[in-house]
């Protein structure tokens, strides 16, 4: 329900402000606004109230919203007005340049909103991004498809089309957008050229996770085993190597293991300070973890911040646990929880600037009733706090980068070989990607991101969208010839059929995926 509430909130903010852009520009040019609706009121409204000439309302169908301008064929498909003589307060009676500004009003407001949000965030919590430089300090680990198309574990990305992209998220997408990727492989510069088909395979099978940080073996441990009867591994084992060979990185173990599909590997592990070999069965992919064995990272507790403490009355969100019965690492902390089920453990915590001791009960499942944030993302996180003036400049730059990102994404979608069109999501699909806890910082950051996306989508020269109206108005300004009302009606109908068909496809895909994930 929290995910649904978040997407409804984000959509409401974006739709109201987008439509307000049309509303305010229309009023400036004395065009009568007959309706202002959040969401679509197909058949009936959840709420409506007429104030002066405008009916304000909320529709029941959360597919955007609209303002109905007098003398314009829009989403309402109301052509009755167009059969009467034009009136001075109607949209069609205004000069082309005024009509163009009204059509672009929503897009402009969306861009201004994104800049405003980024400005406030950069000057308060700071500009945050995951540093590619930090993530690839030891090189990068690539998925099977990534290795198949030419990458090798340990490669460091030097540039994409001649440019180094510092943000990991955009660097990963840059690989899919770009034509030439330069990597540093054991001190040598290697040029990789991915075909559309190769990019499509990455998108289909691995997505954005096809690039990850290399994890050192001394940073991980076996955290849980679903069925101890089918493996000789035990909780808190640490993987050292395979057979008699020791390795440094977990991806090296994975690569060796994948040479033994549907077979066994002799893992060299460290158990309670002693090295030993354990024979472990692999699946058809050569993976020995599968659904039974789960690996976790052995980070310092002081690197963690409690994100959710609703099931523990003594702890608060934002607390940092320094030690638990003297344990200072994640693995030792979990050992203490395991050994003290149903008992209490002594936590030394940092709350704000104050250190304190808390005696907290461990439940019978070996849990404290808390959730931590993602410590690894924090380790690679860069936070740049800026002055308000610098924040405005960087917010404009960030918004422009988002526009470029949307352009490149659209170009990728238009290439059938990449299959990127299958990744287009409806609000249902987007909602499922949102966190299951309310986080204002994330929500506003996502709103800014989504606002630029909405601006770009509406700028597309498709009949039925603002960009389609703007295109015909621009042509009119250049040629001096206006599209007839009858032709405008046909174009609008054609555009709406296309848009509704696309929406039906994306909603249908996401609903099917939702049902499949839940029941199959």
Concatenated DSSP letters for 312-352?
Answer: -TT--TT-EEEEETTB-BHHHHHHHHHHTTTSEEEEEEEET
- Structural tokens at position 285: 């992919």
Residue 425's Cβ-count burial label (10 Å; 0-12, 13-18, 19+) is: middle
What sign for the dihedral angle of Cα 96, 98, 104, 108?
A: positive
- Quick one: 279 and 336 in the same domain? no
Residue 441 within a domain: no
Cβ(366)–Cβ(342) below 8 Å: no
Which of 183, 213, 243 terminates a domain? The answer is 213
Q: Provide the H-helix boundaries in 68-141.
A: 96-124, 132-135
Residue 124 within a domain: no
pLDDT on residue 74:
61
pLDDT on residue 396:
96
Residue 410 within a domain: no
pLDDT on residue 500:
63
pLDDT on residue 241:
94
Cβ(138)–Cβ(157) below 8 Å: no
- Structural tokens at position 475: 């042509």
Number of domains the chain is built from: 4
pLDDT on residue 519:
44
Q: Is the pLDDT of residue 512 over 60?
A: no
Neighbours of 367 (CB within 10 A): 13
What letters, b where the CB count within 10 A reaches 16 and e where it falls short, cover 490-501?
ebbeebbeebee
Q: How confident is the model at residue 489 (pLDDT cuts 50, 70, 90)?
A: low
CATH assignment of the domain containing 309: 2.30.42.10
As beta bridge partners, residue 351 has 354
Mean pLDDT of 216-234: 89
Instruction: Give the range of the structural domain holding residue 262, as residue numbers without chain letter.
Output: 217-297
Which of 83-87, 407-411, 412-416, 508-512 is the least confident region? 508-512
Q: Is the pLDDT of residue 391 over 60?
A: yes
In whole angstroms, give the CA distance from residue 87 to residue 100.
19
| Closest among 226, 353, 207, 349 to 293, alpha carbons compared | 226
- Quick one: 75 and 136 in the same domain? no
CATH assignment of the domain containing 175: 2.30.42
In whole angstroms, give the CA distance from residue 22 to residue 373.
41
- Quick one: 506 and 458 in the same domain? yes
Measured CA distances, 208 to 23, 145, 154, 182, 423 (Å):
39, 12, 18, 18, 12
- Quick one: 232 and 328 in the same domain? no
Residue 440 within a domain: no
- Quick one: 245 and 282 in the same domain? yes
Per the prediction, the chain carries an average pLDDT of 86
Residue 432 within a domain: no
Select, from the ranges 390-399, 416-425, 481-490, the one with the highest average predicted confidence (pLDDT). 390-399
- Quick one: 9 and 94 in the same domain? yes
- Quick one: 65 and 152 in the same domain? no
Which of 213, 243, 265 terminates a domain? The answer is 213
Residue 444 within a domain: no
Q: Which residue has better confidence, 437 or 329?
A: 329
As beta bridge partners, residue 241 has 246, 268
In whole angstroms, give the CA distance from residue 116 to residue 124.
12
Q: Is the pLDDT of residue 187 over 70?
A: yes
Q: For 136-145, what is each residue's pLDDT tens digit?
A: 999 999 988 9
Residue 399 within a domain: no
pLDDT on residue 516:
47
pTM, two decimal places: 0.81
pLDDT on residue 343:
92
In whole angstroms, give the CA distance from residue 199 to residue 111.
30
Q: Is the pLDDT of residue 237 over 70?
A: yes
Q: Is the pLDDT of residue 348 over 60?
A: yes
Mean pLDDT of 1-11: 83
For the chain, what percentages of helix, strand and coil (3-state, to nearest 5) are there? Answer: 45, 25, 30
- Quick one: 232 and 173 in the same domain? no
Measured CA distances, 91 to 98, 316, 465 (Å):
9, 56, 16
Mean pLDDT of 229-245: 90
- Quick one: 283 and 178 in the same domain? no
Which of 213, 245, 275 terminates a domain? The answer is 213
Mean pLDDT of 363-377: 78
pLDDT on residue 520:
44
- Quick one: 54 and 102 in the same domain? yes
- Quick one: 171 and 205 in the same domain? yes
Residue 9 within a domain: yes
Mean pLDDT of 85-107: 90
In whole angstroms, give the CA distance from residue 283 to residue 292.
11
pLDDT on residue 151:
95
Q: Is the pLDDT of residue 359 over 90?
A: yes
- Quick one: 6 and 115 in the same domain? yes
Q: Which residue has better confidence, 278 or 290?
A: 278
């Amino acid at each position: 329900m929290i995910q649904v509430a978040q997407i409804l909130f984000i959509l409401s903010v974006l739709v109201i402000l987008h439509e307000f852009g049309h509303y305010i520009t229309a009023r400036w040019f004395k065009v009568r606004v007959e309706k202002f609706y959040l969401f679509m009121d197909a058949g009936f409204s959840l709420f409506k109230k007429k104030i002066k000439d405008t009916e304000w309302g909320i529709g029941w169908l959360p597919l955007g919203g609209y303002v109905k301008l007098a003398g314009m064929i829009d989403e309402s498909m109301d052509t009755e007005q167009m059969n009467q003589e034009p009136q001075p307060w109607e949209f069609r009676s205004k000069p082309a340049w005024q009509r163009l500004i009204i059509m672009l009003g929503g897009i402009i407001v969306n861009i201004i909103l994104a800049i405003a949000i980024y400005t406030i965030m950069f000057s308060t919590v700071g500009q945050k991004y995951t540093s590619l430089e930090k993530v690839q300090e030891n090189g990068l680990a690539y998925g099977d498809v990534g290795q198949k198309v030419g990458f090798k574990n340990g490669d460091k990305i030097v540039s994409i089309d001649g440019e180094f992209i510092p943000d990991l998220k955009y660097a990963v997408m840059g690989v899919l957008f770009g034509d030439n990727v330069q990597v540093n492989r054991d001190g040598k510069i290697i040029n990789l050229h991915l075909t559309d088909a190769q990019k499509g395979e990455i998108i289909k099978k691995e997505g954005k996770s096809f690039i990850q940080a290399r994890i050192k073996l001394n940073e991980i441990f076996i955290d849980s085993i679903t069925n101890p009867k089918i493996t000789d591994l035990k909780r808190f084992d640490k993987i050292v190597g395979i057979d008699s060979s020791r390795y440094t990185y977990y991806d090296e173990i994975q690569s060796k293991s994948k040479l033994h599909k549907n077979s066994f590997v002799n893992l060299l592990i460290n158990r309670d300070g002693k090295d030993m070999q354990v024979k472990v069965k692999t699946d058809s992919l050569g993976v020995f973890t599968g659904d039974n064995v789960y690996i976790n990272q052995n980070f310092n507790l002081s690197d963690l911040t409690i994100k959710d403490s609703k099931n523990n009355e003594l702890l608060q969100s934002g607390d940092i646990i320094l030690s638990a019965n003297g344990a200072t690492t994640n693995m030792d902390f979990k050992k203490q929880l395991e050994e003290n089920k149903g008992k209490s453990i002594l936590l030394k915590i940092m709350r704000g600037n104050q250190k304190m001791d808390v005696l907290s009960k461990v439940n019978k499942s070996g849990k404290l009733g808390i959730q931590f944030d993602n410590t690894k993302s924090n380790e690679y996180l860069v936070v740049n706090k800026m002055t308000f003036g610098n924040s405005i400049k960087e917010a404009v730059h960030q918004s422009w980068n988002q526009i470029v990102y949307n352009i490149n994404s659209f170009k990728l979608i238009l290439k059938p070989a990449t299959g990127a069109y299958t990744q287009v999501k409806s609000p249902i699909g987007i909602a499922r990607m949102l966190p299951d806890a309310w986080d204002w910082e994330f929500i506003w950051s996502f709103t800014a991101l989504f606002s630029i996306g909405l601006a770009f989508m509406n700028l597309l020269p498709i009949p039925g969208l603002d960009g389609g109206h703007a295109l015909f108005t621009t042509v009119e300004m250049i040629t001096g010839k206006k599209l007839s009302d009858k032709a405008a009606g046909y174009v609008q109908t054609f555009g709406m059929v296309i848009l509704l068909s696309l929406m039906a496809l994306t909603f249908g895909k996401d609903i099917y995926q939702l049902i499949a994930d839940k029941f199959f």
